Structures are given as structure tokens and as C-alpha cells.
Copies of this chain bind each other. A is one copy, B any other.
Amino acid sequence: MALIVQKYGGMCLATLERIGLAADRVVGSVKAGDRVVAVVSARGKTTDELLGEAQILAKNPPARELDALLATGEQESAALLAIAIGSRGVPAVSMGPYQCGIFTTSTHGHARVRGIDGNAIRKNLEGGKVVVVAGFVGVNESGDLTTLGRGGSDKTAVVIAHALSADRCEVYKDVAGLSTANPKVVPEAQKIDCASFDEMLELSATGAKILQADAVEIAKRFGIPIHIRPQFTDGAGTRVEDTDLERAEVAGCTLSKDEAIVTLTGVPDRPGKLTQVFETLAGRAVNVDTIIVNPSLDGTAQISFSVPLKDLETTLAACRGLERQVSHMGVFHHEPVAKVSIVGVGMQHHPGVAARMFRAISEEQVNILAVTTSEIKITCAVAAAEGEKALRAVHAAFGLGQESSQSPVPDPPSKAGSS
């Protein structure tokens, strides 16, 4: 008898019929002898609709009230799924954050989970009940509702799996699993059978929307295997787990859009040069992503960083403020920009991966604006209009569309190392 946490996303619950299918899954697991905690998101587009209404009522709705508003979406899903499970003869109870004791920090909209008191859930499980938990929401020290950020239900599922020492955490999706690239952009993309935590983490962080990056990080830290499974078929899905198998150099590739790259030139190259720039931006709540700093040759540094397109105006205003204070400093930017990333644990041991990526992109006459790498990821920024073309080229160059995406690609050209 295993204890399974099953997470059902918004698209898996978008209609009453789909809620019924989710209930069938839960009941199937119970009949197979398992105990189940189901974690649910808000149905379909509910969250966006509620947000839209709030924004009609107020230009900047207070974050506390937005959280109270959005929390209703998950509570609704939880009650409906519990009702559907109950109607199939399996007792089920829905639980909200007050009942489960999901305690978070105070930051409305992006609260972090501080801890969870698993006892209430455990008590219901021991009473032979399926527990359906409203994902995405928690309670802060003041007793107010908080939310965990977009995709936060994934985090709820992983945190509960950890608190209950669950045997596994299944995440149901309306797709076959994690793919080598977004199939909407790269039709020949292949489903990946197995990914490491690190690969999943980089893929989530660079644009794969299948799992929330925070959730993957928690799963990695506590060694909780996540099984991404299709809701509507019996497909094998994708296993995300600790793995030390021999890996293909590239597991998948991603595309993230709606960014801009800002470059500062002539920044005096002395200690503290970065602090001033990024403290200024943080003070204006700009969420800086990639930062690229090259060694200085002439005593002045060049600093590039990417920001969400929506923050560009604020960012440029802040930078121009700095520009006035520092002689010889210059500011320029590229927008809109897309980032193409390849991710793979194997690239650490396969030389020439970066070179192959650059060649694939340049053969499409796409100019690479900037490059950053981590141990298992290479990201190239390109003009947004060319992002999809670059993604398809990279996907093909690493043979990800072939029948077995795990087989090594022959004869890699080896101009540069992978990290």
C-alpha cells in the first residue's frame, strides 16, 4: 500500500467531465490499494478571469485581496473533485490551507512555504479517506491567505509529499509528458522518458511550463521523485528523479520570450560596480534574470542583463539615472529578445556541445546576441522574431526529434567545451 500525492492541473479540471476523469484516476489508485492525496489547481482559466475582474475594479489591486480572491479557485476545484470521488463510492474530503496547516511567509502573491502540519491530512487518510487539497494557497502569520506564485500547486504537491513521506508524487497533465521542446513550436519534438532533477530544474527555469521550478528544487532537495503523467491516456509520462545513468548530452531545449537585454558600457571597473547597478534595479522591483559580465580590458566593464519586457521602461529609466552620475557610461538595449536554451546533465561530459548549438543557430542566419551557460545548460539570446526558428534548428542539431532521443549523436564537431 503506497501513499501517493497526485497533482491535477487546471487543464485537467477544466470541465466537469475532466473532473470526473480525475476522480476515476484517484478511485483507480484507491482500488489498487493505495492511499491518495490529490492536490488541485483552479479550473481552466479561473485564475486569469478572477485577476481580470480585479483589474477592472482597481488599477493596482492590493496583493492581500488578490490572494483572498484567487484562493477561491483552488477551493472550488477541491470541493468539486471530492464530490466526484465521493459519488464513485470512495469517501473523500476537501481541505483548504487553514485545515491542512500550510504555513507560509507573508509575501502575498509569492509566499514561500515555511512548513506544513501534516497531522490533519494524516488523520483523514488513516480514516480511509482520500484527501483533496486546494493547491497554490497557504496561510501566513497574520492568519491571512497567501498564494505561492504561478504554478504554485506543484509546490503544494511536493511539500505535502515531503511532509507525509509519500512514496511518490504524480503530476497529471494534458500532455504526454516532458518533451525535448515545445511541440507547438517544434512538431518533431519527442517525449522524454526520464529527466534528472537538475535537467528539469533548468528546463523549468528557462521556459518549460510543465513543472514549477521552485517545486522541482524542493523535490531535488528532499529526493522526492516526480512522475509527470498524461491525464487522458495510459502513456508512461516522464520520470523526474535522481539519476546517475549515462545521459545524452542534451535532454531538451526551451524557448522563453518577452525579454529585453540591457547593456551598460564604460562602467568603472572597481569593487562595488555591480552592487550599485543591481541594488538600484532591485529598489524598483525589477526582476533581473541573466547577468553577463565580461572581464574588463580598459578599466571599464561592460554589464549586460536580461529583464522581462514589461520592466524595460523602468529599467532604462533607472540606468539613465546612473548614466548621469557616471561619466563615459553608456546604455543600450535589445528588445524584444528570446532565449533558446539547451539542458542536459550529459553535456558536462560531452565536449563541443556549445559549438554545435552556435553553429545550428548561425546556419539559420540568426545572430546570437548573448550567451550564458551553467554546468548543464547553454542559453543563447536572439531577436524574438527568430526565436522559434533557432529553437527548431537546435532541436534538430542534437537529434532530439529522432526516435530515441537518448542515443548519442555521432561525430560532434568540437570547437568549444560545454561549460
**A54-B83, A87-B58 known; A72 vs B72 contact (CB < 8 Å):** yes
Question: Please, how many angstroms separate the alpha-carbon atoms of A152 and B227 in the complex?
Answer: 44
- The reply to whether B94 and A80 form a contact with Cβ atoms under 8 Å apart is no
Which of A62-70, A318-326, A372-380 binds B?
Answer: A62-70
Q: Which of A83-132 contact B (CB under 8 A)?
A: 83-84, 86-87, 92-94, 96, 98-99, 120
Task: Say which residue of B54, B62, B72 sits within 8 Å of A75 (CB atoms).
Answer: B72
Given contacts A75-B75, A98-B98, contact A87 B59 (CB under 8 A): yes
Q: Count of A residues near B, CB < 8 Å?
A: 41
- Contact between chains at B98 and A86 (CB < 8 Å): no
Q: Is A251 an interface residue (CB 8 A)?
A: no
Whether, in the assembled complex, A301 has its beta carbon less than 8 Å from a beta carbon of chain B, the answer is no
Beta-carbon contact of B69 and A84 below 8 Å:
no
Interface hits, A38-80 → B, CB 8 Å: 50, 53-54, 56-59, 61-62, 64-66, 68-69, 71-73, 75-76, 78-80
One digit per residue, 1 when the CB lies within 8 angstroms of any chain B CB and 0 when it does not, for chain A 177-209 equals 000000000000000000000000000000000
Closest residue to A68 on the B side, CB-wise? B79
Q: 1/0 per residue A222-242: CB within 8 Å of B? A: 000000000000000000000
Query: Is the pair B50, A62 in contact by a Cβ cutoff of 8 Å?
Result: no
Asked whether any CB of chain B lies closer than 8 Å to the CB of A413, the reply is no
Alpha-carbon separation in the docked complex, A325 to B68 (Å)? 57
Extra contacts besides A54-B79, A69-B75, A99-B143 (16): CB < 8 Å = A16-B57, A19-B57, A23-B57, A57-B83, A58-B86, A61-B87, A64-B93, A65-B82, A65-B92, A68-B82, A68-B94, A69-B83, A71-B75, A72-B73, A72-B79, A98-B98
A-B contact pairs, 26 of them (CB 8 A): A16-B56, A19-B57, A50-B76, A53-B80, A54-B79, A54-B80, A57-B83, A57-B84, A59-B87, A61-B86, A62-B82, A65-B86, A65-B92, A65-B94, A66-B79, A68-B82, A68-B96, A69-B75, A69-B76, A72-B72, A72-B75, A72-B76, A75-B75, A98-B98, A98-B143, A120-B143
